[in-house]
Amino acid sequence: MGFNEGLLVATRARQSLLCVGLDSDLERLPPHLLREFGERAVLEFNRWIIEATKDLVCAYKLNLAFYEQLGPTGLGMLEETLASIPEGVLKIADAKRGDISSTAKAYAKAIFDYYGFDAATVNPYLGLEALEPFLSYSDRGAFVLCRTSNPGAREFQDLECDGRPLYLWVAEAVARASERFGNLGLVVGATWPEELRRVRELVGDGLPILIPGVGAQAGDLERAVRYGTNSRGELAIINVSRAVIFASAREDFAQAARAAAQRLRDEIERSRPRRS
């Protein structure tokens, strides 16, 4: 099964486009977990969050930086966290990798073969050729940075190139490449709804879009869903991290995370276009 088909299976089975980002910053974890577990509180926290939300999500996205900063202990907790995610829920590595092909091949092997992620975020700055080692895994996804959610995205991504912004050239190149590789997608932030609309109109129905920026970054959820999904209300992943996992810093953190995830999942479902 190709990645896009697997994504449809996951979202349909769980009736959810919600992805929870496990950006488990040690400095923001509930104090009672830190007192009891120290650095390994990251793993304990993740297990509680997963248990509380696993029936509400289609995916979890793990930003590798929060695990790499803790060295071998953090990478071990990354592996154990992945093992805690149930079958049928996608695992996305927020890695933003992109390098010459020999290095990209090593990155892809680490993310897909060693850690067993289902998809990764990748950087197109070196050209799509540098991403081919990721694309050779037809059952895994590669989400290409297109119009990112941060304020500084304007600096380069909006630069006019032959009459239109650079991010649209990226979107078009990815759409063309998807005719050869069936596992490409785009990253477009919910903080830029008009740009998201333009990207979806350009690439059509076939490409999945990973949409961060809802929650702490104040992206527009309703427009993110309306503009980011295809004509069937599918092939979009709405990622929310801090607004879910840090909904409470007290001992009720898991219950608060579930309540936040339930609210978001329900709002997403209300905003999805009617299936045609």
* Angle subtended by helix axes 41-53 and 253-271, to nearest 10: 40
165-187 confidence digits (pLDDT tens)? 999 999 999 999 998 998 999 99
The residue annotated as part of the active site, out of 54, 96, 105, 109, is: 96
Structural domains of the chain sorted by starting position, each given as residue range(s) with its CATH number in brackets: 3-271 (3.20.20.70)
pLDDT of residue 101: 86
pLDDT of residue 214: 86
| pLDDT beneath 50, residues of the chain | none
pLDDT of residue 95: 96
Q: Residue 70: what residue type?
A: L
52-87 confidence digits (pLDDT tens)? 999 999 999 999 999 999 999 999 999 999 999 999
Residue 11 DSSP symbol: H
| 54 annotated active-site | no
pLDDT of residue 219: 72
pLDDT of residue 18: 98
Structure tokens at 123: 């950087």
